[in-house]
């Protein structure tokens, strides 16, 4: 790819600016950067069938020949593309049909199809799922299915657009392991756009950091980390894995070759540092009366399916930031639905200030509750955010609404999208806009479902800062998430959900320390050393000894 | 892996249903039809221990009684008069005709219950993909959308309820308005998302050339064997019927129930044809017992 620039139609600024990248055969390349930096545009330009409409300057070459000179069929076969959302890219209503969809279109013989399916299904270990319906699969399984159906065409290059952004940590790790295996065992050239980078830096041969349509950094993982820290680039630092950040900030003699990328490397480095530190515990705060309480809640969707919630008890106090973590299918989202009274449990009670939530109606409901769903698209009913906010003002009869609206827009830093259609905004912006609308009515309690899905590290930081502000103003927040790093950093009290019940509850430190999976990578790297008990980078930095004797 | 009748090729199964359906209309003989009806019940029982049939029993009984009772009162053709009802003759012929008609309809319904259990989803589409490939593909696409839309609508309802836009309370006008808003969100959202589905289709070469369907089923030796056997039995039945056997004369004067030798041949052919699933299942059961 050489001197590539790309303009979207009707756009003033180019989405991509003079980009030159060469990707070698067999490389595992990771592209990262904040939302809207052009990484997805870049990726889709490489796949001719879905290339966005616009003005393209420069040349794209594949195996020494310009992309436009290749015939369609070869390109479809040789360049595979996996999309972000696991649901949207599934076309057929049957796993088997879905797998062979691509091959059917290209008119392969039945022998060839059977051969490929047999081989790859076995490699993926998906034999048990062949007869299933896509709607019965978990997100992780869906994404593996998507990868598998692309691989059946035997591509030489694999392009993936944030494939793990909708998955929980365990499923995401599975997918990444699969990609690593494909790359190592078959030499598959892989080009991955991703936000979640903790593990990817260790796997990648080649990392590209983009911003505003430019390539900022390009090279091997360690070179890039070094370059970012040398420039002290605030916008890029959040992308560096936290264990490497720890090293860059605290190691005495920086050596490029020993920058730790994996937990293993970090542990061996920490071992060379003398354990001197003491960790202070965050003081848990006992306060206020309970605002929401669940008592012995049991719930099942139909009579014949197993209970999703079993003997679940939970108490949230006024002004608390409460987080619930747990894997896919542990019942987190169902729990949240029970909290907001959207489902009525078969047994047990869900009380909001001594009243059952499922019986709350009208004003008692919308003046107290706010619920930010996983997908904020479900919230908007009007074609601009402005109209949306006006409607809330009208419904709740808020005095001097206009002032309030402006104030909200300012706090959330979204004045620039006030007159846009919600669907035209980025995920992070849409989330903020929905939240702004809800908070106009100053609710008592805010429920959030997986807010960090698909957000880049920068927006995540912004979002967390906002939540913290709101929390300090006295808003009670109940959040469901699988992002442990996020929960560890900001929550006051955490609960771990497993098999339909709250298995453990406590401060983040109490809960996440020493776990294998449900913990942060910093904790995994430091447990057993002098830093035992630190969960987040910030904590590790704070409790780091000032003088490190070696 | 599926056993018994289900393990056969969809074409064989489909052909079996065509045969049974055709013969149900072809034979007009209470004994033939009664036997066929009994066999179809047994076939259904062999599929799932009669779970699906049980739900239909009340409906089937009510319907057949209605036909049997109403036909003689509405139709007064025939020579053997049983009694007079309000000055209208109620004939034996019409009663018998009612019974045969009821049996035919019951057989067809039983056939569809079984059809639903055996040729569901993929097998059904596989058969129709040959005849109407585009329709079959479109059906597949739409079936896929049903659970997806349902899931989305649930999410939307959750969010909008908290917003204070409810469809369970308030005036009818308001409720209708919120209901409409919800559908509107569902549509905009789904359209937005389906752009990606379209991309995904394009990325995997949809419409690039002639499609070669993947055939998940292969015609095996036993499929061919049964196909030929069914075809032979079916031809015997049709040929025999064309000669006037296997049919009873009802109007204007009731014929005899007596079986001529050729009637017996026809009867056994039909018996064998209809019992195809039973034979297959039975053989499998026996094999299990003896292999222990």
Q: Are A374 and A449 contacting, i.e. CB atoms less than 8 angstroms apart?
A: yes
A-chain residues within 8 Å CB-CB of B188? 423
Chain A: closest CA distance from residue B64 (Å): 34
Chain B: closest CA distance from residue A344 (Å): 13
Chain B: closest CA distance from residue A277 (Å): 47
Q: pLDDT digit string (tens) for B272-288?
A: 999 999 999 888 888 88
More confident residue, B182 or A533: B182
Could you state, in order of their start, the residue ranges of all structural domains in chain B?
4-124+244-291
Q: Does the interface ipTM go beyond 0.90?
A: no
Q: Are A209 and A216 contacting, i.e. CB atoms less than 8 angstroms apart?
A: yes
Chain A: closest CA distance from residue B164 (Å): 5
Q: Are A493 and A323 contacting, i.e. CB atoms less than 8 angstroms apart?
A: yes
Residue of B nearest to A96 (CA): B216
Does B180 contact chain A (CB < 8 Å)? no
Q: Name the nearest CA neighbour of A2 among A30, A25, A23.
A: A23
Q: pLDDT digit string (tens) for A479-498?
A: 888 877 788 878 888 888 88
Cα gap B108→B33, rounded to integer Å: 11
**Rounded alpha-carbon distances, angstroms, from residue B42 to A390, B23, B61, B101:** 66, 17, 17, 20
Position B2 scores a pLDDT of 65
| DSSP helix/strand/coil, A161 | strand
Cα gap A325→B155, rounded to integer Å: 20
A-to-B residue pairs, Cβ atoms closer than 8 angstroms: 155
In terms of DSSP H, where are the helices of chain B? 10-26, 30-48, 51-74, 92-118, 121-131, 133-162, 172-203, 221-242, 261-274, 276-291
pLDDT at B164 over 50: yes
Residue A127: its H or E element: none
Q: Tell me the mean pLDDT in the region B16-23.
A: 93
**Greatest mean pLDDT among A27-41, A312-326, B270-284:** B270-284
Chain A: closest CA distance from residue B74 (Å): 47
The answer to whether B203 contacts A47, with C-beta atoms less than 8 Å apart, is yes
Q: What residues contact residue B170 under an 8 Å CB cut-off, 6+ apart?
A: A362
- Which one-letter DSSP state was computed for residue B130? H
CA B8 to chain centre: 17
The answer to whether A371 contacts B158, with C-beta atoms less than 8 Å apart, is yes
B-chain residues within 8 Å CB-CB of A94? 121-122, 140
Cα gap A525→B134, rounded to integer Å: 56
Q: For tokens 């569809």, name the residue.
A: B112
Residues in chain B: 292
The answer to whether A91 contacts B152, with C-beta atoms less than 8 Å apart, is no
Cα gap A228→A217, rounded to integer Å: 8
Cα gap A38→A193, rounded to integer Å: 10
Does B212 contact chain A (CB < 8 Å)? yes
Q: For tokens 């080009």, name the residue.
A: A191
A-chain residues within 8 Å CB-CB of B184? 381
Q: What are phi and psi of A451, to 5 degrees?
A: -75, -20
The answer to whether A92 contacts B144, with C-beta atoms less than 8 Å apart, is yes
Does B290 contact chain A (CB < 8 Å)? no
Does B249 contact chain A (CB < 8 Å)? no
Q: Count other Cβ atoms within 10 Å, centred on residue A59.
A: 12
The answer to whether A89 contacts B155, with C-beta atoms less than 8 Å apart, is no
Cα gap A58→B121, rounded to integer Å: 49
A-chain residues within 8 Å CB-CB of B180? none
Q: Model's pTM, two decimal places?
A: 0.78
**Greatest mean pLDDT among A108-122, A487-501, A507-521:** A108-122
The answer to whether A88 contacts B155, with C-beta atoms less than 8 Å apart, is no
Q: Are A475 and A446 contacting, i.e. CB atoms less than 8 angstroms apart?
A: yes
- Which one-letter DSSP state was computed for residue A258? G
A-interface mutation test, from B139, B148, B149, B159, most A Cβ less than 10 A away: B159
Residue of A nearest to B164 (CA): A366
Q: Tell me the mean pLDDT in the region A536-540.
A: 71
> Taken in order A338, A344, A345, A350, is the CA torsion positive or negative?
positive
Cα gap A246→A273, rounded to integer Å: 13
**Rounded alpha-carbon distances, angstroms, from residue A540 to A154, A301, B72:** 45, 43, 93
B-interface mutation test, from A99, A104, A369, most B Cβ less than 10 A away: A104
Q: Tell me the mean pLDDT in the region B212-221.
A: 80
Q: Are A314 and A478 contacting, i.e. CB atoms less than 8 angstroms apart?
A: no
Position A12 scores a pLDDT of 46
The answer to whether B209 contacts A374, with C-beta atoms less than 8 Å apart, is no
The answer to whether B161 contacts A365, with C-beta atoms less than 8 Å apart, is yes
Q: pLDDT digit string (tens) for A444-471?
A: 888 888 888 777 787 888 888 888 888 8
Cis link prior to B71 (omega < 30° from 0)? no
The answer to whether A361 contacts B181, with C-beta atoms less than 8 Å apart, is no
Which of A204-208, A543-547, B281-285 is predicted least confidently? A543-547
Q: Which of A100, A109, A362 sits opposite B169 (nearest CB)?
A: A362
Q: Tell me the mean pLDDT in the region B94-106.
A: 91
pLDDT at B1 over 50: no
Cα gap A192→A40, rounded to integer Å: 10
Q: Using only C-alpha atoms, what is the Rg of chain B?
A: 26
Chain A: closest CA distance from residue B59 (Å): 26
Position A514 scores a pLDDT of 66
B-interface mutation test, from A101, A292, A363, A371, most B Cβ less than 10 A away: A101
Band of residue A544 on the pLDDT scale cut at 50, 70, 90: low
Q: What residues contact residue B9 under an 8 Å CB cut-off, 6+ apart?
A: B217, B218, B219, B220, B223
Cα gap B215→B195, rounded to integer Å: 29
A-chain residues within 8 Å CB-CB of B159? 371, 373, 378-379
Does B256 contact chain A (CB < 8 Å)? no
Chain B: closest CA distance from residue A52 (Å): 10
pLDDT at B72 over 90: no
Cα gap A202→A193, rounded to integer Å: 15
Q: Are A35 and A41 contacting, i.e. CB atoms less than 8 angstroms apart?
A: no
Cα gap B175→B171, rounded to integer Å: 6
Residue of A nearest to B199 (CA): A50
Q: Are A408 and A15 contacting, i.e. CB atoms less than 8 angstroms apart?
A: no
The answer to whether B163 contacts A379, with C-beta atoms less than 8 Å apart, is yes
Cα gap A194→A34, rounded to integer Å: 10
More confident residue, A70 or A82: A82
The answer to whether B203 contacts A49, with C-beta atoms less than 8 Å apart, is yes
A-chain residues within 8 Å CB-CB of B164? 362-363, 365-366, 395
Position A283 scores a pLDDT of 47
The answer to whether B214 contacts A337, with C-beta atoms less than 8 Å apart, is no
Residue A290: its H or E element: strand A290-299
| DSSP helix/strand/coil, A208 | strand
The answer to whether B203 contacts A342, with C-beta atoms less than 8 Å apart, is no
A-chain residues within 8 Å CB-CB of B157? 342
Q: Count other Cβ atoms within 10 Å, centred on residue A547.
A: 7
In terms of DSSP H, where are the helices of A152-303? 169-186, 200-203, 221-231, 242-250, 263-271
- Which one-letter DSSP state was computed for residue B247? B
Cα gap A123→A77, rounded to integer Å: 20
Q: Tell me the mean pLDDT in the region B179-185.
A: 86
pLDDT at A531 over 80: no
The answer to whether B164 contacts A150, with C-beta atoms less than 8 Å apart, is no
Q: What residues contact residue A478 under an 8 Å CB cut-off, 6+ apart?
A: A292, A316, A322, A323, A324, A336, A339, A445, A446, A447, A448
pLDDT at A257 over 80: no
Band of residue A517 on the pLDDT scale cut at 50, 70, 90: low
Going by their DSSP bridges, the two strands A355-356 and A501-506 should be labelled as unpaired
In DSSP terms, A420 is beta-bridged to none
- Count Cβ atoms within 10 A of the Cβ of residue A161 and give its class: 0-12 exposed, 13-18 middle, 19 or more buried: buried
Query: If you write DSSP's letter for every residue of A469-506 in order, what string do you get?
Result: HHHHTT-EEEEEES-HHHHHHH-SEEEEEETTEEEEEE
End-to-end alpha carbon distance in chain A = 47
Q: Using only C-alpha atoms, what is the Rg of chain A?
A: 25
Cis link prior to B252 (omega < 30° from 0)? yes
Provide the token pair at A242: 């936290």
């Amino acid at each position: 790819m050489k001197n590539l620039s790309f303009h979207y139609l009707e756009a003033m600024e180019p989405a991509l600016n003079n980009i030159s990248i060469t990707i070698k055969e067999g490389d595992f390349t990771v592209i990262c950067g904040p939302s809207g930096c052009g990484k997805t545009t870049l990726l889709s330009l490489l796949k001719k069938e879905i290339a966005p409409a616009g003005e393209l300057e420069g040349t794209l070459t594949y195996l020494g020949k310009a992309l436009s000179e290749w015939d369609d069929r070869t390109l479809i076969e040789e360049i595979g593309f996996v999309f972000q959302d696991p649901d949207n890219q599934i076309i057929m209503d049957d796993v088997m049909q879905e797998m062979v969809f691509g091959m059917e279109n290209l008119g392969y013989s039945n022998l060839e199809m059977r051969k490929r399916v047999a081989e790859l299904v076995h490699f993926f270990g998906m034999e048990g799922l062949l007869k299933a319906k896509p709607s019965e699969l978990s997100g992780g399984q869906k994404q593996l299915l998507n990868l598998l159906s692309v691989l059946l065409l035997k591509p030489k290059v694999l392009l993936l657009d944030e494939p793990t952004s909708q998955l929980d940590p365990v499923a995401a790790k599975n997918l990444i392991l699969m990609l690593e295996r494909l790359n190592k065992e078959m030499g598959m050239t892989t080009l991955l756009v991703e936000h979640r980078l903790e593990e990817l830096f260790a796997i990648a041969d080649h990392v590209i950091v983009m911003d505003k349509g430019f390539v900022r950094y390009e090279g091997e993982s360690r070179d890039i980390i070094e370059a970012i820290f040398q420039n002290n680039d605030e916008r890029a630092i959040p992308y560096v894995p936290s264990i490497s950040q720890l090293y860059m900030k605290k190691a005495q003699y920086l050596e490029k070759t020993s920058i730790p990328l994996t937990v293993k490397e970090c542990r061996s480095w920490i071992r060379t540092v003398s354990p001197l530190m003491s960790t202070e515990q965050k003081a848990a705060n006992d306060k206020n009366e309970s605002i929401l309480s669940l008592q012995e809640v049991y719930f099942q969707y139909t009579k014949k399916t197993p209970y999703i919630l079993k003997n679940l008890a939970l108490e949230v106090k006024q002004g608390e930031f409460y987080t619930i973590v747990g894997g896919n299918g542990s019942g987190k989202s169902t729990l949240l639905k029970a909290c907001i009274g959207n489902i009525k449990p078969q047994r047990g009670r869900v009380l909001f200030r001594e009243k059952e939530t499922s019986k709350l109606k009208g004003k008692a409901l919308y003046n107290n509750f706010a619920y930010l769903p996983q997908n904020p698209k479900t919230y908007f009913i009007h074609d601009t955010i402005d109209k949306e906010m006006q409607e809330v003002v009208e419904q709740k009869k808020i005095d001097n609404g206009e002032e309030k609206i402006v104030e909200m827009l300012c706090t959330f830093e979204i004045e620039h999208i006030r007159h846009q259609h919600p669907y035209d905004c980025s995920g992070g912006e849409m989330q903020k806009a929905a939240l702004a609308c809800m908070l106009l009515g100053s609710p008592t309690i805010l429920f959030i479902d997986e807010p960090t899905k698909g957000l880049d590290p920068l927006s995540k930081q912004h979002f967390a800062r906002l939540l913290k502000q709101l929390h300090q103003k006295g808003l009670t927040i109940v959040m469901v998430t699988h992002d442990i790093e996020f929960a560890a950093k900001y929550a006051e009290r955490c609960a771990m959900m497993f098999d339909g019940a709250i298995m453990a509850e406590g401060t983040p430190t109490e809960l996440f320390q020493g776990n294998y999976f449900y913990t942060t990578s910093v904790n995994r790297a430091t447990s057993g050393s002098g830093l035992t008990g630190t969960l987040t980078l910030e904590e590790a930095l704070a409790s780091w000894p000032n003088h490190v004797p070696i | 892996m599926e056993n018994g009748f289900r393990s056969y090729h969809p074409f064989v199964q489909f052909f079996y249903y065509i045969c049974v359906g055709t013969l149900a209309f072809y034979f007009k003989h209470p004994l033939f039809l009664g036997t066929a009806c009994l066999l179809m019940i047994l076939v259904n029982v062999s599929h799932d221990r009669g779970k699906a049939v049980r739900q239909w029993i009340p409906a089937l009984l009510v319907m057949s009684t209605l036909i049997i009772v109403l036909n003689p009162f509405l139709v007064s053709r025939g020579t053997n008069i049983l009694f007079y009802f309000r000055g209208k003759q109620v004939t034996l012929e019409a009663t018998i005709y009612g019974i045969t008609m009821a049996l035919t309809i019951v057989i067809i319904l039983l056939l569809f219950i079984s059809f639903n259990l055996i040729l569901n989803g993929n097998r059904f589409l596989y058969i129709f993909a040959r005849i109407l490939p585009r329709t079959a593909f479109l059906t597949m696409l739409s079936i896929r959308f049903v659970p997806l839309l349902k899931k989305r609508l649930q999410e939307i309802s959750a969010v909008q309820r908290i917003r204070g836009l409810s469809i369970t309370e308030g005036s009818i006008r308001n409720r209708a308005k919120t209901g409409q808003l919800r559908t509107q969100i569902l549509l905009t959202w789904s359209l937005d998302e389906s752009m990606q589905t379209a991309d995904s289709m394009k990325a995997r070469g949809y419409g690039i050339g002639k499609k070669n369907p993947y055939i998940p089923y292969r015609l095996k030796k036993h499929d061919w064997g049964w196909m030929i056997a069914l075809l032979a039995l079916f031809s015997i039945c049709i040929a025999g019927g064309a000669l006037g056997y296997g049919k009873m004369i009802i109007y204007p004067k009731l014929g005899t129930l007596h079986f001529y030798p050729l009637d017996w041949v026809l009867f056994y052919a039909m018996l064998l044809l209809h019992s195809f699933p039973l034979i297959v299942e039975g053989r499998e059961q026996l094999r299990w017992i003896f292999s222990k």
